[in-house]
Amino acid sequence: MTWIAAFRSHEDDCRRAPSAHNTQPWALRYTDDAVDVHWDPSRALPDSDPTRRDLFLSLGAFIETCLVVAASAGLPVRADIAVDHSSQRAARLLPSPSVYDTPFTLTSVQQRRCARGGYAPGTLDPAVLAALTALGADLRQVPTRTLVAPLAAADRWMFGTPEVVGELRAWMRLSPKHPRYQLDGLTDQAMALSRIEATGLAAMIGPRAYPLTRRLGGPALLAAASKGLLRYDGSVLILVGSAVTPESVIEHGRALVRVWLALSERGLNVHPLSQLLDCAATAGQLTEKLDLAPDESPLAVFRTGRPLKEPIRSARIPASQV
């Protein structure tokens, strides 16, 4: 069996990588001597992610996951990151003289998951933060409570912006009856919503009701629903870095998934709060708070801790159905 055929047999594990809105924007193309990582523009989020920060972070997370999965299978594979916009190619996976050096395994990849419900109080152990930084991530820690008001503002912006709500609607699967419930997107269970909450949200952001919802103060109401999210003593981590090229954002996405895997191995989950960066006002406030170099910006924001309830395993499109 060629290394490419061997790698291909593990594609479903690679697809466990995280992506914004669980869009799984990646597309693998197998050639005779390489595995090319492309992105599918129909799975990008042009309105929520106009700078494509989350797209390239997600592609980086996928590439790192591919390398971990290959290493776990004993396959010597490396990634050549070079973005080609005309063919929408992010990287090539190529044979390597040695197996990728990573502390993570297939089990790490399979066990990692986001958790969006309640977290037990407790801030991140400084030794853990130091271990995460050693994985090549520049992380800043902020107490959860300091972001209560900015998160409410970002949520009001998110639920009040029709194009962003349109993309949320397209990727939310608020009922198990949704035809893509097992495949992609954000399910009610993944978002830790009760049946009543999911039904209410579906009714408020449905295409017909949303214009009225928006006029009658629905965005503030929806934002209020997540107000309690950060009202406990916990940690929010902010990944910062220079994002001048798509390649550099991909590298940050690789570091991001290493951090999430390392947290997961310690029984800690993450809950990204990207709306804080998508909303220009709160992104500006956050950037001011952090002592950043001129070319640096916050790239990912997530709370981390021990979830009160075991999070569910999120949906993925099987490689056989691509």
Ligand X SMILES: Cc1cc2nc3c(=O)[nH]c(=O)nc-3n(C[C@H](O)[C@H](O)[C@H](O)COP(=O)(O)O)c2cc1C
Contact positions vs ligand X (CB under 6 A):
18-22, 54, 57-58, 61, 113-114, 116, 186, 190, 271-275, 300, 314
Using CA atoms, how far residue 150 sits from 102, 145, 234, 282, 315, in Å, is 36, 10, 16, 6, 30
Q: Which of residues 47 and 99 has its CB atom nearest to ligand X in the complex?
A: 47
CB of 117 vs ligand X, minimal distance in Å: 11
Q: Which of residues 2 and 182 has its CB atom nearest to ligand X in the complex?
A: 182
Decide if 11 contacts 28 (C-beta within 8 A).
yes
CB of 299 vs ligand X, minimal distance in Å: 8
CB of 203 vs ligand X, minimal distance in Å: 21
Q: Which of residues 3 and 119 has its CB atom nearest to ligand X in the complex?
A: 119
Q: Which of residues 58 and 235 has its CB atom nearest to ligand X in the complex?
A: 58
Radius of gyration of the chain (CA): 19
Q: Which of residues 18 and 246 has its CB atom nearest to ligand X in the complex?
A: 18
CB of 276 vs ligand X, minimal distance in Å: 8
3-class state of residue 275 by DSSP: helix
Q: Which of residues 19 and 235 has its CB atom nearest to ligand X in the complex?
A: 19
Task: For residue 150, give the amino acid letter.
Answer: P
Residue with tokens 């006002």: 281
Edge-first strand listing for the sheet containing 296-305: 138-143, 235-242, 296-305, 269-272
CB of 150 vs ligand X, minimal distance in Å: 13
Decide if 132 contacts 238 (C-beta within 8 A).
no
CB of 76 vs ligand X, minimal distance in Å: 27
CA distance 234 to 238: 13
Cβ-closest position to ligand X = 18
CB of 158 vs ligand X, minimal distance in Å: 9
Closest CA to 65 of 32, 2, 108, 128: 108
Q: Which of residues 58 and 282 has its CB atom nearest to ligand X in the complex?
A: 58
3-class state of residue 81 by DSSP: strand
Using CA atoms, how far residue 114 sits from 46, 232, 282, in Å, is 23, 18, 23
